[in-house]
Structure formats: C-alpha cells, structure tokens
Structure 1
C-alpha cells in the first residue's frame, strides 16, 4: 500500500513532537535537577546527580533511537515520493548524536562523578559541586542536538506542505 503525503506528514509531525519532547526532558535535568543537586551538600548532591543520570541513561538513548527511526521512515517515504528527504535524515542524525556527544564530551566528567557517588573520589565538596555544575552545562548543550533535529524536521514539514 502506497503511503499518502498526508500519512507521511503525520509521521513527520509525530517525529518533530517527540524530538522536541526529548530535548525538553534532557534540558529539564540541567535546569531543574542540577540546581537541586547543587543546593545539597556533600554526598546528597552527588546522589541526586546519580538519580538524574540513571533516569536519563535509562530513557534517552531509547527515546533518541525511536525518534531517529521515525525520522528515517519519514525520509524514506519522502524519497519514495520524490520529495526532499535529506533534512529528515539530518534530523535523525542530530537526534541520535546525543550518544556520541555523551561519550566524547561527558565521559570524563561522568567517570569522576561516578567515583564521587561511590565515595572513591579524593575531592573536596567544592570540587564535586564544580563537576556537577559542569555536567549540567554539558547536558544543557547536549539537549540542543534533538532541538536542532526538531527544528530541521519542523522546517522540512512546512517546506513540504
């Protein structure tokens, strides 16, 4: 069965909404969770960071992967219909790029915070708070990737209609 333009646009709208929602979740960790962690001192602050990290780690890679699949499906459909598909493929890439961003830019901070959480990091409370703050900034930057994917998908949606 051939998918209609209307069906493809519906899939694209869902992808854009999901991508934007993912950005909101990631950003909320930095904008709401990290200030709460920094408000607490010592082990309590790093425990809050650990909970935030665990929730994000459990949800976001799956969320990004699912969203990317939706973008790729929309790109495939657009290509089959002779329409612009490259923006949709780029949206998929931007959305899943949270994973390599994490590995490249956040791993060293994550490792130190894991050690602080386990009580094996020889650092002052100020140093740990600095690490938590750095993680918050990096995470906020990371949240811009799915936002860029959503913006590009949104732009493609309106160019197609």
Structure 2
C-alpha cells in the first residue's frame, strides 16, 4: 500500500464524513423556517429537500464508509482497526437510523406533501382530506428537525474518531 494512496483515502474518509455531517445539519438549520410558509407549501418544500438529501447522503455515506473500511483493513494496530471500523459504522448508520427513527415522521410529511400537491385535498375512501393543519405540519417539522440533528451526529462522531486515529490524538 503506497503512502500516497493511504493519504488520499484518509482525506476522502475524513472529508466525506465531515461533509456529510454538515450537509445533514444544514437541513435541520433551514427546516424551521418552513413553519413561516402555509402548511401545504411547507410540506411540499420539505419533500423537495428530503428528496435532495435522499438522493445524495447515502452515496456520500457509502463512499466514506468504504474509505474507513479500507483504512481499517490496512491499519497498523488492532485499536486503529477497531476505531476506523467504528468510524465507518457510525457514518453508514444514517441509513438504518433514517428508516427506524425517522420513518413515521417522514412518511406523514410525505403524505401531507402529496395531499398538498393535489390542490390541498386528496381523496381517501371517497372523502376529501382536509388540508394539513399548521399545528400538525409545524409539530412534524419540529420533530423531524430534532431527529435530523441526532442523525447528523452519526457522521460527525465518525469524523471525530477518524481524525483521532489519522492524527494520532
């Protein structure tokens, strides 16, 4: 294994996990402003941002995790191997966390966005659904923001552990 290749992969692992933590955090910082919009619009904008994140974050997590796995495989000690493997596990943990911890909230917000995109009233068993209430949308966005901050901590912890190993702290 060349020293240059190792340095490049270290930079990719540390950079991508740090980037991912910031990318995810950005959504938590911006989502609360959606409560200023009418509920149907807030749900639709949230859905657009959700799709943006869903289309990018898992791939960055996979790149980062693969980089940490490579580094763990070529580590100089069992402690470094375990720490780098743990860093990679923290990063990729955003995927199951999203399904397990955020699935219901995401699902309800997606339902509200779909209803809103149908002119505010969707059909359910022949009855019109009411427009999403400001209280429900605001509560869901608030819950989502907190859950998303927690999700952002996963790659942040991975990056911190990676920096600790790479720089020998």
TM-score, normalised to structure 1's length? Answer: 0.88
Equivalent pair of 1:20/1:147 in contact (CA under 8 Å): yes
SS of residue in 1 equivalent to 2:2: coil
SS of residue in 1 equivalent to 2:74: helix
Equivalent pair of 1:23/1:143 in contact (CA under 8 Å): yes
Q: Verify: 1:125 aligned to 2:127, yes or no.
A: no
Query: Which runs of no fewer than 5 residues in structure 1 stay unpaired?
Result: none
> Residues 42-121 of structure 1: matches in 2 within 5 Å?
42-78=39-75, 81-82=76-77, 84-119=80-115, 120=122
Q: Verify: 1:16 aligned to 2:14, yes or no.
A: yes
Equivalent pair of 2:32/2:141 in contact (CA under 8 Å): no
Q: Going by fraction, where is helix more abundant, 1 or 2?
A: 1
Give the C-alpha shift of residue 82 in structure 1. 4.7
Give the C-alpha shift of residue 39 in structure 1. 1.5
Query: Which runs of no fewer than 5 residues in structure 2 stay unpaired?
Result: 116-121, 123-128
Equivalent pair of 1:23/1:146 in contact (CA under 8 Å): yes
Residue number among 143, 152, 167 corresponding to 1:143 in the alignment: 152
CA-based RMSD of the aligned residues comes to: 1.8
How many residues are paired up? 155
Q: Tell me what 2:118 maps to.
A: none
Q: Tell me what 2:165 maps to.
A: 156
SS of residue in 2 equivalent to 1:159: coil
Deviates more, 1:102-111 or 1:124-133: 124-133
Give the C-alpha shift of residue 3 in structure 1. 2.5
Q: Could you say which structure has the larger radius of gyration?
A: 2
Equivalent pair of 1:13/1:157 in contact (CA under 8 Å): no
